Amino acid sequence: MVAQEPQRNSPTPRHTWLFSRPLMELPTSLVPRVVLGRRSILRRCRTSKTTATHDDVDRHDDAPTEQRRRRDTSDDTLVVHAGERRCAALVIGGGGGVVAAETTDSIATPIVTGTVHWFRDSADLVAFREGRCLRRRHSFEYGRYGNPTVKVLEDKISAMERAEATIVTSSGMNAIIATLLAVVSPGGHVVATTDCYSEARAFIRDRLPKMGIRSTFVDLDDMEALKSVLDHQGNVRDRSEPQTVHKMLELRVFLISNENMRMQVTMFYADSPTNPHLKCVDVRRVAELCHQRGALVCIDSTMASPINQKPLTLGADVVLHSVTKYIAGHHDVIAGCISGSEAIISRIRVWHHDLGGTISPNAAYMIIRGLKTMALRVQTQNRTALRMAQLLESHPKIERVNYPWLESSPWHGIARRQMTGAGGVISFEVASDMCGVMRFVDKLELPFIATSLGGCESLVQQPAIMSYWGKSDAEKAETGIKDKLVRFSFGIEKFEDLKDDILQALETI
């Protein structure tokens, strides 16, 4: 059927959005106009053409100017608009006809709950299998392979991370495991930091060796030991740089299987910032060193959020998030995500399908809704955490504060170079014993005693009796967990209320 232009007296609007490709596939010059324009881009679709000419573009007073189109779209705007296809018409000009139209006038992204997607006929199915049927470019065949609502969320996260592709998974741990299994083959070698996420560390340490994958852990605090390892292996360091600046970051590319042979590293895996000590990895330097030796860099950026840090723009190959935290932001949904190049994500997607870590469309919708306020939430959490860290740093009952935005932090320089904020989590050591710290935590009135982070409500925990309960003293010492350590995840409550609560609780010590 040939699409006809509506008559001028027709009540049907003649303006329509033409989103035939995902946001990240559009030319960069068009992204701000697509995201920011309040009205449609095109006046009509000429049935004899598949692309629009300048004559087709409506000129509205409220349309973005050329200067605005050249400017990068802000994260504040991307979290609201990126990936969504409001009033979207998929118009394909095959031989002068409109092949299909998928439309909705809902401002909110629809929840598509169907688990199966049908085909028009056998020829349609064959064309889909061969990848030549543009009409069904957004079909997923079966719910485990994808979903329209989930695709909107994936496109939104891709825009935030400046990634070519994203997979949303059923949990952050599922994202970690799918990535490791897909990227590191038997015979490979993973290097991870000792203070990466505890369950990821356990999987890398205990499970991967059983699959023929070697694992090595490095301590970012032991500078002299690191220097000894690098020098022993004949490390070729750039002598033009100060010897004290990047020593800890060069470990990823040199590991020994014996004294005379170096085993090539397949992947370097790290959290940045780390939890709960908020250490930072110089992602740009790590990526440079690893890529020279053929190793990939995977950064778990959960503690930062896409608002504060974008590892892919710094040279990382893969970025992971526990979507449960800052991205969803409301302590009401569990999910994870993996972002990177289309080539890498395609490899991981195969494993993702096999593992079955699919997220439900309802959960995806809740994350989309929560994500729209992420910039506002994270900016508030950044300010609260910094002000509280500065306050506690000078308090007589606090021995140490860990927060990379503090000038006293050894990670301050790295954090300032690659982050726009340090997030809403701080940790500090109270001048007391385990029981004294427990009294302090119990006296707090506003925060919940709970694990997790990044939500609207403030949370507090004593890692020694929360995440590290039952761990040996040696394991706690290895990761720097002390009985007097407190981790505080700030929500969006008023700073003065949180300050008053913390100060009154410290009076009990």
Q: Which residues are CB-contacts of 5 (< 8 A; sequence separation ≥ 6)?
A: 14, 44
Quick one: pLDDT band at residue 232, thresholds 50, 70, 90?
very low
Quick one: pLDDT band at residue 125, thresholds 50, 70, 90?
confident
Q: Which residues are CB-contacts of 189 (< 8 A; sequence separation ≥ 6)?
A: 213, 214, 215, 216, 255, 263, 264, 265, 266, 267
294 versus 174: the higher-pLDDT residue is: 174
Q: Which residues are CB-contacts of 474 (< 8 A; sequence separation ≥ 6)?
A: none
Q: List beta partners, residue 319.
A: 299, 339
Domain residue ranges in the chain: 122-230+262-371, 376-507
- Is the pLDDT at 233 greater than 50? The verdict is no
pTM greater than 0.85: no
**Average pLDDT over every residue of 184-213:** 92
**Average pLDDT over every residue of 294-304:** 94
Q: Which residues are CB-contacts of 237 (< 8 A; sequence separation ≥ 6)?
A: 230, 243, 250
pLDDT score of 134: 53
Q: How far apart are CA 175 and CA 320, in angstroms?
A: 7
**Average pLDDT over every residue of 446-473:** 93
Quick one: pLDDT band at residue 294, thresholds 50, 70, 90?
confident
- Collapsing DSSP to helix, strand or coil, 51 comes out as coil
- What number of other Cβ atoms are within 10 A of residue 294's Cβ? 10
Q: What is the rounded average pLDDT for all residues in the chain?
A: 78
Quick one: pLDDT band at residue 85, thresholds 50, 70, 90?
low
- Is the pLDDT at 97 greater than 70? The verdict is no
Q: Which residues are CB-contacts of 175 (< 8 A; sequence separation ≥ 6)?
A: 167, 169, 320, 321, 322, 336, 337, 338, 357
pLDDT score of 131: 75
Q: Which residues are CB-contacts of 487 (< 8 A; sequence separation ≥ 6)?
A: 275, 276, 425, 426, 427, 460, 461, 462, 463
User: Shortest CA distance to 421 belongs to which of 456, 455, 453, 375?
Assistant: 375
pLDDT score of 138: 55
- Is the pLDDT at 15 greater than 50? The verdict is no
Q: Which residues are CB-contacts of 9 (< 8 A; sequence separation ≥ 6)?
A: none
Residue 334: both structure tokens together:
């569990």
Angle made by CA atoms 239, 243, 248, in degrees to the nearest 5: 115
- Is the pLDDT at 324 greater than 80? The verdict is yes
What proportion of the chain, given as a percentage, has pLDDT over 70? Answer: 72
CATH code reported for the domain at 122-230+262-371: 3.40.640.10
pLDDT score of 201: 94
In this structure, which amino acid lies at residue 258?
Answer: N
Cα separations (Å) of 173 from 322, 323, 337, 347?
8, 10, 10, 18
pLDDT score of 258: 35
pLDDT score of 394: 97
Q: How far apart are CA 171 and CA 333, in angstroms?
A: 9
Which range is least confidently modeled, 47-51, 75-79, 324-328, 428-432? 47-51
pLDDT tens-digit series, residues 19-63: 334 444 443 433 433 343 333 333 333 333 333 333 333 333 333
Q: How far apart are CA 87 and CA 104, in angstroms?
A: 5
Identity of the highest mean pLDDT range in 23-32, 256-265, 289-298, 336-345: 336-345
Q: How far apart are CA 50 and CA 451, in angstroms?
A: 52
Q: How far apart are CA 29 and CA 112, in angstroms?
A: 31
Q: How far apart are CA 374 and CA 369, in angstroms?
A: 10
Identity of the highest mean pLDDT range in 59-73, 111-125, 197-211, 282-296: 197-211
pLDDT score of 139: 67
pLDDT score of 468: 83
Quick one: pLDDT band at residue 290, thresholds 50, 70, 90?
confident
Which range is least confidently modeled, 217-221, 322-326, 388-392, 450-454? 217-221
Quick one: pLDDT band at residue 251, thresholds 50, 70, 90?
very low
**Average pLDDT over every residue of 438-446:** 97
Question: What DSSP designation does 112 have?
Answer: -
Q: How far apart are CA 100 and CA 89, in angstroms?
A: 8
Per CATH, which fold does 376-507 belong to? Aspartate Aminotransferase, domain 1 (3.90.1150)
pLDDT score of 133: 59
Q: List beta partners, residue 217.
A: 192
What proportion of the chain, given as a percentage, has pLDDT over 90? Answer: 56
**Average pLDDT over every residue of 331-358:** 96
Q: How far apart are CA 459 and CA 271, in angstroms?
A: 20
Quick one: pLDDT band at residue 390, thresholds 50, 70, 90?
very high
